[in-house]
Structure 1
Amino acid sequence: MSPSNAAVSVQAQPWQRVCSRADLVAQSGVVVWFEGRQVALFYLPGQATPVFAVDNHDPKSGANVIGRGLVGELKGELVVAAPLYKQHFCLRDGRCLEDPQLVLQVWPVRISGEQVELGRC
């Protein structure tokens, strides 16, 4: 394969497998390693978007605990409550409902067949 073909191949495949669908836990979080970071995946079957990917690092406490947070709905938003200080982060865009200065990074995520894949930001 020539170097130009390799570059095309990488660009054509922006998704990376991080776990299988069987690794997900309904209404809960699991943590995966992706590009040097811990990413919390939340699986909410029955929702229009059934899986969300956010940073596992809690910006308020500094601990990697977001994947252990409780999921729910608050003010019409699907959220995860951080385990230590209980601030609520929107799963869709990572913003904190209580403190707009706190934000979690979010990643594009999809279920492809039986695989869970994350996209690069």
Structure 2
Amino acid sequence: MNWVNICEQTALPDFGGIAAWFEDRAIAIFNLGERGLFAVDNIDPATGVSLLSRGLICDLEGDIFVASPLHKQHYSLRDGSCIEDESLSVEVYQIKCEAGKVLVKRAGNHSLV
């Protein structure tokens, strides 16, 4: 699968998230400064609501998570796993910035490059 141009790097808020359309779904993109860019499904699997881009970013157990705004499940931005419920997970996408453009592609198997 090829890299897809999602937006200009300047469109990303510092230390926050935005929602973007990728292929057939909404994804959440997080710009965490020196910690990097991260992209996961925007739909919270616990509720089916597209809102993870509005979640709070936190560092727990040495990993970076987004906490869902509704029920506060924590999803790893590195592998998509949920701390509170092992049956829940979000898809993780590869993401990079080149020449001022944010590029995304499917990572497969919930892992990052």
TM-score under structure 1 length normalisation: 0.85
| Alignment of 1:101 onto 2:92 | no
| Alignment of 1:92 onto 2:90 | no
Higher-Rg structure is 1
The equivalences for 1:1-121 within 5 A come to: 14-47=2-35, 50-121=36-107
Identity %: 39
Runs of 4+ in 1 over 6 A off after TM superposition: none
One-letter identity of the residue aligned with 1:34: F
TM-score under structure 2 length normalisation: 0.91
One-letter identity of the residue aligned with 1:64: S
5+ residue gaps in structure 2? 108-113
* Aligned alpha-carbon RMSD (Å): 1.0
Deviations 1:52-95 (A, max 9, x none): 00000000011001000010101111000000000100000110
In 2, Cα distance between the equivalents of 1:117 and 1:110?
Answer: 5
| Alignment length (residue pairs) | 107
One-letter identity of the residue aligned with 1:27: F
The DSSP-based 3-state class of the residue aligned with 1:53 is: strand
The DSSP-based 3-state class of the residue aligned with 2:34 is: coil
Q: Which structure has greater helix proportion?
A: 1
Q: Retained in 1: the 8 A contact 2:92–2:106?
A: no
In 1, Cα distance between the equivalents of 2:99 and 2:65?
Answer: 26
